[in-house]
Amino acid sequence: MTLDQLYHQIQKKKSFLCVGLDVDLEKIPAHLLQEDDPIFAFAKAIIDATHDLCVAYKPNTAFFEAYGVKGWQSLEKIIKYLNENYPDHFTIADAKRGDIGNTSTRYAKAFFEQLNFDSVTIAPYMGKDGVEPFLAFKDKYAILLALTSNAGAYDYQTLTADALPVYQQVLKTASQYKNSDRLMYVVGATKAEYLKEIRQIVPDSFLLVPGVGAQGGSLEEVYKYGANDRVGLLVNSSRGILYASQEEDFEDAARAEAFELQQAMEALLD
């Protein structure tokens, strides 16, 4: 998917919502556990119930890897279902990969060629040769962790290195990488007050912003400090949508949560 196509979807749907697909068999409605593939059945139901309200889906691979081969097969079915039925949605494999160069190339092939995701999240810690292999794929994107939503973000990311906080060094340095136009960045919604400074370093990049919903981040603050002239935001909610109800009405409840977020986004975009 191109960035123009993504922006077009945001305008068309008046939404920059990303629905996180963190499927937890301990939280899905009990009746689905009788299905052959409960993980896929649940994700498919959520996708069908929310597709017109969001522009992106983000399965976090941990929730699939936790179930071994079966979980990975469910992930394959979900990305295939999305690509066949909702090809206009931007897809994110939240896998937080990154390694020495030749290994990063294998990760990139796994997510971009084998699974056909549009993007994958990457840890910046191993630097340029760990990231650039992900940027060699046309119309595919690496989403680099910059300032994460969790409390542990303050352990390293805000420490000063060479006169700047580490998360700012990540943004500045990565902006110089080859094909850096294929980079996006993760910034937690719980750190919205940092977005003004972040936008000074990466004014045009898309930001993936997890942390509204269950983690309590404010959509309004994120938009106020983080939006650019092409919106430039994908705001993710996972548990807040997926587990709005754990009963038979889970699809309606998930849709209602997604609708509330989409309506709030529409109001901000108008």
Ligand X SMILES: O=c1ccn([C@@H]2O[C@H](COP(=O)(O)O)[C@@H](O)[C@H]2O)c(=O)[nH]1
| Part of the chain binding ligand X (CB under 6 A), chosen from 46-54, 105-113, 142-150, 193-201 | 142-150
Selected catalytic residue, list 96, 138, 172, 224: 96
Phi-psi map region of 87: left, alpha, beta (phi>0 left; psi -120 to 50 alpha) = alpha
The amino acid at residue 258 is A
Q: In this structure, what DSSP letter does residue 78 have?
A: H
240 forms part of the interface with ligand X (CB under 6 A): yes
**Binder to ligand X among 186, 201, 219, 261 (CB under 6 A)?**
186
188 forms part of the interface with ligand X (CB under 6 A): yes
In sequence order, the 6+-apart residues with CB closer than 8 A to the CB of 91 are 56, 57, 58, 79, 82, 83, 117, 118, 119
98 forms part of the interface with ligand X (CB under 6 A): no
Closest to ligand X by CB, 6 vs 235, is 235
**Touching ligand X, residues 20-59 (CB under 6 A):** 20, 22
Please, are residues 248 and 43 in contact by the beta-carbon 8 Å criterion?
no
Residue 213 in tokens: 């919903």
CA 194: distance to chain centroid?
A: 19
**Binder to ligand X among 133, 211, 226, 232 (CB under 6 A)?**
211
The amino acid at residue 92 is I
Q: Is residue 96 flagged as an active site residue?
A: yes
**Binder to ligand X among 29, 98, 133, 213 (CB under 6 A)?**
213
Chain residues in the site for ligand X (CB under 6 A): 20, 22, 60, 94, 148-150, 186, 188, 210-211, 213-215, 236-240
Catalytic residue ranges: 96
